[in-house]
Structure 1
Amino acid sequence: SMSKQLEAESWSRIIDSKFLKQQKKDVVKRQEVIYELMQTEFHHVRTLKIMSGVYSQGMMADLLFEQQMVEKLFPCLDELISIHSQFFQRILERKKESLVDKSEKNFLIKRIGDVLVNQFSGENAERLKKTYGKFCGQHNQSVNYFKDLYAKDKRFQAFVKKKMSSSVVRRLGIPECILLVTQRITKYPVLFQRILQCTKDNEVEQEDLAQSLSLVKDVIGAVDSKVASYEKKVRLNEIYTKTDSKSIMRMKSGQMFAKEDLKRKKLVRDGSVFLKNAAGRLKEVQAVLLTDILVFLQEKDQKYIFASLDQKSTVISLKKLIVREVAHEEKGLFLISMGMTDPEMVEVHASSKEERNSWIQIIQDTINTLNRD
């Protein structure tokens, strides 16, 4: 059976020893890595099916959980199963086509690159970017939601313990499942690279493998940036929630800026810095860089309010803003607003020189993007 075959440690263990002895070292190595790809893909599908068939179905059937609750734990599960079952089937078909001399078990896969290119390009790549973007983006929230449920809900706790003791689940808990799925696509580049390294004298196959390697890296890059923008959304929402609704700040242009205005923007970066006042004292604040504005918040009674700084505004428009290093002060930077009236200058200090440089870089990049648009 399929799972029996894939439980063997390696390709060499499945095939006849006589057949194995006839193969060159490179060929054996190549088949071993392809077998590892096949085996890990099989395990991945099995993990997804455990999440679906055992955990999600069980939560709805035994615990009468709503579908939305289950989807909070396991987003886009059906789509993931569909993507990976299809991929696994394609690899299996290739294995079947590669059986040698009417044998039932001896196989040599001469071409796999085309299957990989297909999986990581075009529509398939878009599906992967979308589903993994969402799944990995919600990874932390899913795990926190699980911990919360597990701590509060005794029936849920008993359900998880019971399921984990079954032979099918093999002690795979929910957070472990989630982590395994999150990590899967990051495992492909190494596998593809290794297949490529032991592929000799087949140029078309080498080209396909090299292409699949760059395609999968592209997918991973797209997923990473989706995850980053997802995390920034969550972070901006935390800042918004913590901001006092009574706090308000007049910008240099005369326009008022309030808590609600945070919601209309996208977060670029935030972090702790210091503002220097006229008396030369440094005050710790939270810098919040949005797409077209830089906001400084200070903590008061466990809430954020707009920071006070002499008579200056601490909500600074990026339009007509100039960023400069402070001479003889490696942690300092100047923000110079060149608006309609006299220029206004705010001195900001970071916790280190590296941190200062990275703030200058990102503020400058954000200003450049704004001017382009």
Structure 2
Amino acid sequence: MVCGTRLCFPTKGKWHGESYARWNSYPLPVINMGNKRNRSMVRVGSLANILSPVSSVKKVGQAIQRSMSFSKGSHSGSMTIKPYCKPPATPTKRRDNKLWSETVQGNINEPLTKNEIKRQEAIFELFQGEVDLVDDLYLVMKTYRDAMRSLQILTDQELNIIFGSLEELRMIHEELVCDLQKQRGNNGATEEVGKVLLKWLPLVTEVYVTYCTNQLAAKTLLDEKKQDSKVNDFLERCIESPFSRKLDLWNFLDVPRSRLVKYPLLFKNILKGTPSDHEDKINITLAIKMCKEIVSEVDRRTGETKCKHFIDTFEYLDDRQRNHLIAYQKNLLCGGVLKSTKGTKLHVFLFEDILVVTRLITRNNRKCYQVYRQPIPVRTMALEDIPEGEVRRSGSFRGALSHGPSVKCGFKVRSTDPNLSQSFTLHSSDEHDKKQWLQLFRSAIRRARQDETCV
């Protein structure tokens, strides 16, 4: 399928074209494999010596496979990996930040006003960001996903969880690149982009909801699989290779979400340079509103998925901890690690309607959160800031959260319900962290009391 005269996207997703080569040109490395009988890991200092750049990424999987030296045992027949040794530092592949004025021929920018040049630069920033994003998505699928499948490092089910709907994301972003390229005139200037954005944005919501709601499960599984020596060895080799730009796999997997939240700002930059009588003035304004709604919907659905994920991992010691409110939570206001007065790490989950304090444990090689004491509903919660240096009397182990000598950055959360005599004394890592927690707690309490008053 040919999209425009400069940039083409065939149906198989391969990148070709004069424009792409101009904006994404990389020098090809010199490959010297030496004697075929001596291809050992000692001679392979880095994947940089055998990997082609992104433009030849379809061969990266085979290159990685050649770089990882496997040997079959004489009895078991199982594959083993030679221990990975960090190679000498190699030059990191970096992207050049080009300006629109550097890509146009002649002196086209001379007759344009300063405001018009800013508009063209903003449009080019949007376009070039899309090209870079598609590059990254293609690299992740070919260099990481397909290579790990070929090497049988992970199963197809595990790969589907970790990489999610990356293929669908790549397709819709390739479509945007094609449409933006068509709007670019022969002189390098783009007259309008508003209609393109209004046509493209309706395709984004469901694809991004599907991808972002899967990210928590993907991150959890990826962290778990990194404990496998083969997986860890493969990922370390990739990080030390120039094509990765020193980024780990998760950095690449999180690129689409980061890109999504930047769209309103990118659109606003184009809008600033758009004349009031230009057709894009209305269309881009509508695109900004639509994009904010998409981001809000993705955040809402992702939040619901996150709540369900954590709630499913809760382990209760007795039935009194099973507060009925927990099952209905769809918004996690804040979650993180705080400490008790004795230094015990506690994983704290502040949901919209209830506070749950837990301890991280492992059951059957699976991490879960053991609920510590009884959760406190937000509507009956009281917050107390503990002044620095105040000391409390020691108590029993079960009273470690509310008794004992305090340290810096502490605050107390307690229930005002006479039927629930429960309190927690928590300590953050620093004063800034403490202020953030206090602000979130106060906001949650205020919202809960307002809702109760309205009812």
Regarding TM over 0.5, the answer is: yes
Corresponding residue of 2:364: none
CA distance in 2, matches of 1:184, 1:357: 28
Q: Is structure 2 residue 96 aligned with structure 1 residue 23?
A: no
Q: Is structure 2 residue 281 aligned with structure 1 residue 206?
A: yes
Cα distance change of structure 1 residues 364 and 188 upon mapping to structure 2, 3 Å threshold: closer
- 1:227 Cα deviation (Å)? 3.5
Cα distance change of structure 1 residues 287 and 74 upon mapping to structure 2, 3 Å threshold: closer
Corresponding residue pairs, total: 326
Please tell me the residue identity of whatever aligns with 1:126: T
Corresponding residue of 2:257: 182
User: Could you tell me whether the CA contact under 8 Å between 2:264 and 2:292 is conserved in 1?
Assistant: yes
- 1:27 Cα deviation (Å)? 1.9
Alignment partner for residue 5 of structure 1, among 19, 22, 43? Answer: 22
CA deviations on 1:16-64 (whole Å, 9 max, x unpaired) are 2233322222222211221121111011001101111222111112336
CA distance in 2, matches of 1:158, 1:355: 39
Alignment partner for residue 194 of structure 1, among 263, 269, 278? Answer: 269
TM-score, scaled to structure 1: 0.67
Q: Is structure 2 residue 237 aligned with structure 1 residue 161?
A: yes
- 1:316 Cα deviation (Å)? 6.8
- 1:298 Cα deviation (Å)? 8.9
Alignment partner for residue 141 of structure 1, among 220, 232, 245? Answer: 220
Cα distance change of structure 1 residues 289 and 366 upon mapping to structure 2, 3 Å threshold: farther
User: Could you tell me whether the CA contact under 8 Å between 1:116 and 1:209 is conserved in 2?
Assistant: yes
Corresponding residue of 1:362: 444
- 1:126 Cα deviation (Å)? 2.1
Percent identity of paired positions between Structure 1 and Structure 2: 18
Runs of 4+ in 1 over 6 A off after TM superposition: 270-274, 284-300, 315-318, 331-334, 367-373
Counterparts of residues 262-301 of structure 1 (less than 5 Å): 264-266=327-329, 268=332
Gaps of 5+ in 2: 1-17, 26-97, 362-367, 388-410, 427-433
- 1:248 Cα deviation (Å)? 3.5
Corresponding residue of 2:205: 126
- 1:178 Cα deviation (Å)? 1.9
User: Could you tell me whether the CA contact under 8 Å between 1:323 and 1:364 is conserved in 2?
Assistant: no
RMSD: 4.6
User: Per residue, is there more helix in 1 or in 2?
Assistant: 1
TM-score, scaled to structure 2: 0.57
User: Could you tell me whether the CA contact under 8 Å between 1:33 and 1:191 is conserved in 2?
Assistant: yes
Corresponding residue of 1:102: none
- 1:199 Cα deviation (Å)? 1.3
Corresponding residue of 2:149: 60
CA distance in 2, matches of 1:354, 1:12: 43
